[in-house]
Structure 1
Amino acid sequence: MDFKSETTQTTTDDIDELFSWSEGWDFEYTQLTAGRLGFRERVVQLPGVAIKWHTATQAMLVRETFLRGLGFGFVRDAVGPTRWRGQEIDVHDGLLYQSGNEQHYALGRSTSSMSIELDDRLVQALGWNLDCVAPLQRFDPAAIKDLELICADVKRMTEQDALASSYTQAARADSLYLLSRRDAVLRRLRKVLQPWFACQGHVHDSVERATPGFLLVSQAVAYTLRRDDSSIPSNVELASLLRVSERTLFRAFQGWVGMSPQAFFELRRLHRFRQFLFAAPRLKGAITKAAMQSGITHMGRLSERYRKQFGESPSEALKRRLKT
């Protein structure tokens, strides 16, 4: 375990750069609303613990898997609803991340959230075995307030340490000093997680908590990924395949991603184009090639649609990426 304390801050407007600097996660993000992403992350690193604050301007669809350790996150504020596997959640609901468990949620615009991550060794040392516990639970507002306050204090003290004299920094780097900060956070976190600990021993299948609309959209997306070509299936084709009416299909997509099936798959195609574009080694011919790879046949409005969604043209985006 690394006995150090530090703060870092990262900002990006690029959905494909999101959390590329973080280890221990497998993820996929889709920017649902148009404009610059406006993402900001501030992290305080303690021995075995990372405290993170996030803000983002645009709405996002998120698929995440925490690969090691244990994590806890909650939304502090947002414009529009936040949904987990189709269920609408509020500021008194928290999500538990455990190694290998995949989570799906949709964030509204102007979301502010907070999370705490514990590494494997610390989780084992604490004996916090929460396997099979339902990931989503409602927590005590007073307990989360105490957790937020102690985390804010730790952030302030860590930032002050960075500005202190070298003698003071050396004294505060003492392991007991850092562990006392960390343990203060863990005590508050343990109180917040009481609803999860109370559920220990009750086997839970998160599919049971997913809404029918979420499951329907997931099946539709899985079908498009299995297709041999990159064309977008019609609503009639999808509804027939999934054995539902077109109206039910439309309502499922509207409820989960806030748009029609066709609009959502067009948006996914635009993200796919962006990924192919950023993989190009040079500017010449890259836009046309990326469009062909992603199944975009009408080039006329591509630049306009791309700029509206991501706040820059394809050529501007690639030039920026090639410079970095």
Structure 2
Amino acid sequence: MPEARPAHRAPPGPAGLRYQALASDDVDVHAGQLSRWSQEYDQLSPGRFAGRVRELWADGPRLQVFHEHTHQQTSQLCLPWQGSVWFGIPDGRHTTPVHFCGRLQPGDALRPVLRAAGNASFTLRTPEDFGIYGVVVDAAWLAERLDALQLRDAGAPGATLQALPVPPAVHAAVCHTIEEMLALGAAGGGAHDGALQAWQALLDRLLTLLCSAGHAAPPAAAAQADPAANRRRLATVLSARALVSQPLNHTMSVDDLCAELHVTRRTLQNHFHSVVGDSPADFLKAVRMNACRRKLREGGAATVQDVAAQWGFFHMGHFSHDYKQMFGELPSQTLRRADGAASATGFNGRSVPGSSRSRPAPRPPAAGLAASCGPRPAAAPATAG
């Protein structure tokens, strides 16, 4: 079974700083890398997956900064930890746009700082070779610190999800500051007496940059966008994804989906192109392929043919070819690796002596995240750790 490969872990530094860098070659493992998040990713472009996360966690205050890179195109359902505010800053390496909760984000004169409250799930549709910086901070502490710094938060009051445009110079300063914080964590954070002061200075600089983001005038297209219409488009796409990701729903045609979702075929087509930049058929086929891969990674008694049939793939030659093209290996190889990893653990799930297998990444229920792009439901899925 694919594993998270720890590249570096530094000892705790000031304020309980803990740093780790993890690499993975499987989209599901990668989705479980961020501490205390619940996430589910689908790989959308063909080829071997490669992902990397560099993360720094602080206990006082509760703060998480990270850089995440994915080599393939992905569709992401994300939920930060309870009581936090998330800032997402695409690092600018990509040349194609990013979809945030179904909205295409600018990438030229103004660049986006994305925000989500810790009780809100959100979606990203990312291009190939995509990098994003993340800052997650305790919401109550953030409000207190902004008061102490006499800063006015440029974010919309009460908004759970928003994208604020910033000039390239501010974007570059945010990215540089986060890199400095990650470097401090990678170095151990406590190597010299001024480490705590350096950390506090970097944190205050970062908060000043992030919470001033959005004072620039938004592009005309964004100003004219209809938020309610965008939410309807996104809800339709997520509902279609949730339907086809469940086993034994393979008999649903595009017309069946339209009837279930109460939209016309043309409306469904337009919604998919707007939200994920792809056709319903292509996107939903990738969703079903990823569902098969998750099931195969569980191992057990199911055969490849049984798993493929649950998601509507009945021609094994075509399925094996498409699967290998998408994930870089045959479905039988995925299943063998999963069964081999299972045999290295005891019946109680504990590793037997000599086994180096990492624990599998925790997976949130698909329906719990895909139900909406907005406030967290009352029964939130277990956080990733």
- The correspondence for 2:104, drawn from 88, 91, 97, is 88
Deviation at 1:70, TM superposition (A): 1.8
Determine helix, strand or coil for the equivalent of 1:22: coil
Aligned counterpart, 1:201: none
| TM-score, normalization by structure 2 | 0.68
Match of 1:187 in 2: 205
Cα drift, residue 159 of structure 1? 3.5
Q: Which of 317, 322, 330 is the equivalent residue of 1:313? A: 330
2:88 corresponds to 1:73 = yes
User: Corresponding residue for 2:196?
Assistant: 178
Q: Give the match for residue 138 of structure 1.
A: 165
The 5 Å alignment of 1:235-254 reads 235-254=254-273
1:37 matched to 2:49: yes
1:303 is the counterpart of 2:317: no
Paired amino acid for 1:278: R
The Cα shift of 1:28 comes to 1.8
Q: Which residue of 1 aligns with 2:15?
A: 3
The amino acid across from 1:86 in the alignment is G
Comparing 101-110 and 284-293, the one that deviates more: 284-293
Indicate yes or no: 2:168 matched with 1:151: no
3-state SS, counterpart of residue 316 of structure 2: coil
RMSD after superposition: 3.2
1:274 CA displacement: 1.1
Q: What does residue 293 of structure 2 align with? A: 274
CA drift of 1:113 comes to: 1.2
Q: State the SS of the aligned residue for 1:18.
A: helix
Mapped contact 1:43–1:51 kept (Cα < 8 A): yes
- Residues 259-283 of structure 1 show CA distances to partners (whole Å, capped at 9, x for unaligned) of 33223222221111111111124xx
Does structure 1 conserve the Cα–Cα contact (< 8 Å) formed by 2:39 and 2:77? yes
Aligned equivalents of 1:315, 1:222: Cα separation in 2: 26
Distance in 2, Cα, partners of 1:214 & 1:121: 30
The separation in 1 between residues aligned to 2:282 and 2:251, in whole angstroms, is 10
CA distance in 2, matches of 1:224, 1:46: 39
Question: What is the distance in 1 between the residues matched to 2:327 and 2:247?
Answer: 28
Identity %: 19
Give the aligned partner of residue 241 of structure 2. Answer: 221
Q: Which residue of 2 aligns with 1:54?
A: 68
Q: Is the 8 A contact 2:113 2:213 kept in 1?
A: no
What is the match of residue 165 of structure 1?
Answer: none
Which amino acid letter does the alignment assign opposite residue 90 of structure 2?
A: V
Confirm or deny: 8 A CA contact 1:85 1:209 kept in the other structure. Answer: no
Shift of 1:242: 4.1
Distance apart, 1:211 and its partner CA: 5.9
The CA distance in 1 between the partners of 2:18 and 2:35, in whole Å, is 17
Shift of 1:104: 1.6
Which has the larger share of helix? 1
Query: Structure 1: how far apart are the matches of 2:81 and 2:180?
Result: 29
Q: How many angstroms apart in 1 are the aligned matches of 2:68 and 2:183? A: 17
Stretch of structure 1 that moved more, 247-256 or 269-278:
247-256
Measure the CA separation in 1 of the matches of 2:257 and 2:31. Answer: 33
Instruction: State the SS of the aligned residue for 1:132.
Output: coil
1:112 is displaced (CA, Å) by: 1.6
Instruction: Write the distance in 2 (CA, Å) between the matches of 1:185 and 1:209.
Output: 37
Q: So what's the TM-score if we normalise by structure 1?
A: 0.80
Q: Which runs of 5+ in 1 are unaligned?
A: 163-167, 199-205
Please tell me whether the aligned partners of residues 49 and 182 of structure 1 are also in contact (alpha carbons under 8 angstroms): no
Deviation at 1:72, TM superposition (A): 0.7
TM-aligned CA deviation for residue 82 of structure 1: 0.7
In the TM superposition, residue 212 of structure 1 has moved relative to its aligned partner by 5.2
- 1:193 counterpart SS class: helix
Q: Relative contact order (alpha carbons < 8 A, sep ≥ 6): 1 or 2 greater?
A: 2
Matched residue, 2:380: none
Tell me whether 1:288 sits opposite 2:305 in the alignment. yes
Unaligned runs of 5+ in 2: 1-12, 148-152, 217-225, 342-356, 358-385
How far off is 1:111 after superposition? 0.9
Asked whether the 8 Å contact 2:103–2:274 carries over to 1, the reply is: no
Work out the CA distance in 1 between the residues paired with 2:304 and 2:239. 31
Amino acid aligned to 1:234: S
Q: Give the letter aligned to residue 266 of structure 1.
A: K
Q: Partners in 1 of 2:244 and 2:184 — Cα distance?
A: 50
CA distance in 1, matches of 2:177, 2:260: 52
